[in-house]
Amino acid sequence: MTQSYMDRRGGGAGVLTLDTSAPLFLASSSNYVGTGGGVLKRKQPTDSSDHHLGTGAIEFPISLNARSHAEMAEEALSSNPAVADEKKKNTNETSMVEQVDDEDDKEGRNELAAMQAELARMNEENQKLRLLLSQVSASYSALEMHLATLTRQGHQRNNESWKAREVIEVMGATVDAMNRDRGRVIFPRHFMELGPAAEEDKPSNSSTASPGRSSPPPDNLLYKNDENLDPSWNTNKALKFTPTKTAEQTPLATMRKARVSVRARSELTMIADGCHWRKYGQKIAKGNPCPRAYYRCTMATGCPVRKQVQRCADDRSILITTYEGNHNHPLPPAAMAMKSTTSAAASMLLSGSMTSTDGLMNSNFLASTVLPCSSSMATVSASAPFPTVTLDLTQDPNPLLSKRPPAAQFHFPFPSGGAPPQPQSLPHVHGQKLLNQSAFSEFQTSPQMAASQLPQQRAQPVVPPSLTEAVSAATAAITADPNFAAALADAIKSVIGGGHRPPVNSSDNIM
């Protein structure tokens, strides 16, 4: 099963979770957990039930449909073991004696009043979400009509049309998901099928060829027409976008191959992520005296997952591990957390890069939504040949437990889409090319495209900014959770033992 953000619990309202094995939960409303909206809660590590929160906590599904929060609240209340237990307990007690303490009665009334207030708030929020949904639906219809017009004009291969289709796919998926999956938040289809995640469920057909070179590109929604894409999984040899290429040949697909880089302090050769790796190369990269080691997953033949391990040039106690691709085989529990986390991070990155690639999302908006309050732990960069999200676990020994990490470092190459957010500092981007060298930025800034290929689009944006923001808000509500990056990092940290492992006698050939 491809990793997804969808709930996999056996019933009940959906709750966004990175993976059942990943200790991450997302509650839709802070009203019930006491922090900001869309709070990503940390799963209780001691919770053996694996699907229930600790005492008193109530999980709420993220709802973008018309379902009332009151309804959901009731469900949640009844499904919550703590509340259910309380209910049962109360029933038993009343049947036994009528010596109900007046104090308890008062408390109960107070709780009831508070609960009702919460429900009222929820209803209000629900109304807003309904409005949002209607806006998205209306815009989706408009886009569909626009696409039909373009198709009629025989411009299927026109870049604008392609892009319009793409946008519609995104929005359509969003709307579909909203309509179809009540009580769940579903990422737009392609968000979930992009890059690494898209490959997961597909059996590798590389058994007859050398591993790592034969896995087909993701056969996802957006790529189905990309017959000319590099058959190799290796998008490192990314095509550079040129206006002469057809839309089907655009390197969008290559740009969607996200990488997730993890920085952690470790004396080990590499962090223990639960997978088996075989080293297949080592190279001295420019600007870093420490060699970069290349590993390939050996848990299954033909597994396309690779990772690079390199020590930070500035601080050699920091190990930088960069993951690419997704496993085509079941993972041991120890590896699930890392896999889920990297996939989630990649999805988060890709969802951002997608919209921004089309120039549809204001960079400031993106910056303010995707990682509004995340710390420097999460650095998203599309400036590299492939978009990379860097999770920095080297800072505060336990920043994840803090309620509000400092401001995000978030930088997308938006040369024309408004001034990019000014990061406080960018100390965690390594080995990535300058903005003007990236395929991403080229796609963004290509003057030919801007001038000749997208004249209509420039004059008539496919999606009004407000709509874009509305659509983005739906997904950003999930990915932009203030604690999202922190939670991701938390999951990773749980795997690598907090990134502060004591030195182990190992032949550290990385150094």
Partner DNA sequence: CGTTTTTGACCAGCGC
Partner DNA sequence: GCGCTGGTCAAAAACG
Question: Would you tell me which residues interact with DNA (CB under 7 A)?
Answer: 210-213, 234, 236-240, 276-287, 292-294, 298, 306, 308, 385, 431, 433, 437, 439, 507, 509
Q: What is the DSSP string of 426-471?
A: -TT--S---GGGSHHHHHHH-HHIIIIISHHHHHS-SS-HHHHHHH
Nearer to DNA, 344 or 510 (CB): 510
We find the least distance from the C-beta atom of residue 292 to DNA, in angstroms, to be 6
Nearer to DNA, 149 or 506 (CB): 506
Nearer to DNA, 53 or 384 (CB): 384
We find the least distance from the C-beta atom of residue 430 to DNA, in angstroms, to be 10
Nearer to DNA, 94 or 509 (CB): 509
Rounded to the nearest 10 degrees, how much is the dihedral formed by the CA atoms of 388, 187, 160, 357? -20
Tell me the C-alpha distance between 61 and 76, whole Å: 8
Token pair belonging to 132: 């949002």
We find the least distance from the C-beta atom of residue 325 to DNA, in angstroms, to be 9
Supply the DSSP symbol for 419.
P
Nearer to DNA, 268 or 462 (CB): 268
378-381, strands of its sheet edge to edge: 277-284, 291-297, 306-311, 318-324, 259-265, 388-392, 378-381, 409-411
We find the least distance from the C-beta atom of residue 284 to DNA, in angstroms, to be 7
347 CB neighbour count, 10 Å cutoff: 28
**E runs forming strands in 74-173:** none
Strand duo 378-381 + 277-284: pairing: unpaired
We find the least distance from the C-beta atom of residue 448 to DNA, in angstroms, to be 15
Token pair belonging to 414: 């938006």
Nearer to DNA, 176 or 508 (CB): 508
We find the least distance from the C-beta atom of residue 417 to DNA, in angstroms, to be 20
* Rounded (10°) angle between helices 465-479 and 102-152: 130
Nearer to DNA, 188 or 212 (CB): 212
Token pair belonging to 462: 């496919």
We find the least distance from the C-beta atom of residue 481 to DNA, in angstroms, to be 30
